[in-house]
Amino acid sequence: MIGEFDPKMSFSTNILEAGAYFRDPATNPEQLPIHLATAHNAEDLDDLQKRYDEKGFCYNRYRNPNRSALNELINYIEGNENTETVCFGSGMGAICASVIANTKAGDHIVSGDTLYGESVEIFTNILGKYGVDVTFVDFTDLDAIKAAVKPNTTLFYGETVANPVIAVPDIHAISEIAHANNAILIIDNTFMTGALCKPLSLGVDIVVNSLTKFYNGHSDATAGSATGRPELIKKVFGMQQLMGNQAAPFDSWLVCRAVRTLELRVKKQSDNATALAAAIEKLPYIKAVYHPSLESCPQHDLATKQFNGHYGPMFSVILPEEAECPDWKERMNKFMRTLKLCHYAMTLGGYRTTMSYPPMSSHSDLTREQRYAMGITDGLLRFSVGIEDTNDLINDFTNALEAAYGDLRK
Ligand SMILES: Cc1ncc(COP(=O)(O)O)c(C=O)c1O
């Protein structure tokens, strides 16, 4: 049996108990062992049927004890007693299966226009080939969303926080538009996690996550999840059986272990991002800082309500560009090299602060004009803030910015 939790207990306690261990009297381990077996022996035909009926174990591609533990743990965090979760080998696995299981030829999708680049590719390069059409709109503009709806719209798709301009869509309002049009809403919660935002409680039908990022938080496992009502997740699980993109036992075990400290990490990361964004915004040569904690964020009040007083660990900065200084690139390189506590990495969500340059990674396939239309200008750097001491981080960033741009002070 996989771990139990008491609904009367608080989130901080239950996150340690949900999906925690098998109560196996013979060994009773304090931590769930890693089950690498590809198959589990059944006693006879009745036993096999029982395993099918009770979601027991027979073949790893269908179910595995470590993956089932992770399913239960993520379901506790993202969902409730009326939902189910299925975990994948990556966030993209979860997104592909959830979208493909819920669309068919002739359907139309309304999608946010600043998604993770590979989510855009599923809509355009994959689903387009199978007769599914997509319209990309600004998900912070409810009128634009309504105007994009067609008679064959069956799916709405967005992210809790739009990457990398860190804009916040009104998830509840979008779910109402989706449901009024007999469509479902899928939201990618990777940037916030269920510790800061619970999209299902805002009316979302399926919430997907890249567990590779903040959920795991240690930059050493790749996994994803999809959570929603059983009738929707049954279709997603069926798709997973065929795609064969399940979360591996070891990665499931690693993510389960890391998730016990999710709340501690993500709240600290979020508070660090808030402090850092405020400190950087004050510097005279900074063109813009994008973080929902700032009054300058057009969705600041919505974010306060939607994220329960936290604003998330992701923020972006627009540094001086060609117009301010022709040597903007050298200066950006100098800033990046001078930072001691922030690494330049092709991922996000780890316990250490990292940065990325979207024009050369997530948005490198776009033309400069397309990028600029999305607000992703040449001076934009995106940060995933870690759990370092707040003052150490502020000092490190301020020092590196001064070294690169201090002489531009007006
Ligand atoms: C918002 C978002 N969703 C999904 C993904 C895909 O996750 P994975 O790399 O685990 O497939 C990423 C990856 O960076 C992401 O940033």
Delimit the domains of the chain by residue range. Answer: 11-33+64-259, 262-408
Confirm or reject: Cβ of 210 under 6 Å from ligand 1.
yes
CATH architecture, domain defined by 262-408: Alpha-Beta Complex (3.90)
Measured CA to CA, the distance from residue 133 to residue 125 in angstroms comes to 11
Question: What DSSP string runs through 217-284?
Answer: -SS----EEEEE-HHHHHHHHHHHHHHT-BPPHHHHHHHHHHHTTHHHHHHHHHHHHHHHHHHHHTST
pLDDT of residue 21: 63
Segment-wise mean pLDDT, segments of 10 residues, the chain, 410 residues = 77 86 70 92 94 93 96 96 97 98 98 90 93 97 98 98 93 98 98 98 98 98 98 98 97 97 98 98 96 97 95 97 94 97 93 95 83 90 97 98 90
By the 10 Å C-beta count (0-12 exposed, 13-18 middle, 19+ buried), 244 is classed as exposed
Whole-prediction pTM: 0.95
Residue 207: which of 220, 198, 196 has the closest Cα?
198
In angstroms, rounded to a whole number, what is the distance separating the alpha carbons of residues 216 and 214? 5
Q: Which residues of 94-103 are buried (b: 16+ CB within 10 A; e: fewer)?
A: bbbbbbbbbb
Cα distances from 366 to residues 120, 359, 371, in angstroms, run 11, 8, 6
| pLDDT the model gives residue 135 | 98
* β-strands 108-112, 133-137 pairing: parallel
Determine if ligand 1 sits within 6 Å of the CB of residue 224. Answer: yes
Phi and psi dihedrals of 356, rounded to 5? -140, 160
Ligand 1 atom at minimum distance from 92 CA: 11
* Ligand 1 touching residue 159 (CB < 6 A): yes
What spacing in Å lies between the alpha carbon of 285 and ligand 1's midpoint?
A: 32
- Return the pLDDT at 22: 64
Q: What is the CA radius of gyration of the chain?
A: 22
- Which residue CA neighbors atom 16 of ligand 1 most closely? 116
pLDDT score for 163? 83
| Residue 193 CB less than 6 A away from ligand 1 | no
- Compute, in angstroms, the gap from residue 213 CA to the centroid of ligand 1: 7
* pLDDT of the residue at 31: 85
189 lines ligand 1 (CB under 6 A): no
CATH of domain 11-33+64-259: 3.40.640.10
AA letter at 126:
I
State residue 95's pLDDT score: 98
92 in ligand 1 pocket by Cβ < 6 Å? Answer: yes
User: 116 C-alpha vs ligand 1 centroid, how far in Å?
Assistant: 7
Cα 325 to ligand 1 centre (Å): 34
Residue 90 near ligand 1, beta carbon < 6 Å: yes
Q: Whose Cα sits closest to atom 14 in ligand 1?
A: 347
How many whole angstroms from 347 Cα to the centroid of ligand 1? 9
Q: What is the pLDDT of residue 29?
A: 82
pLDDT for position 25: 64
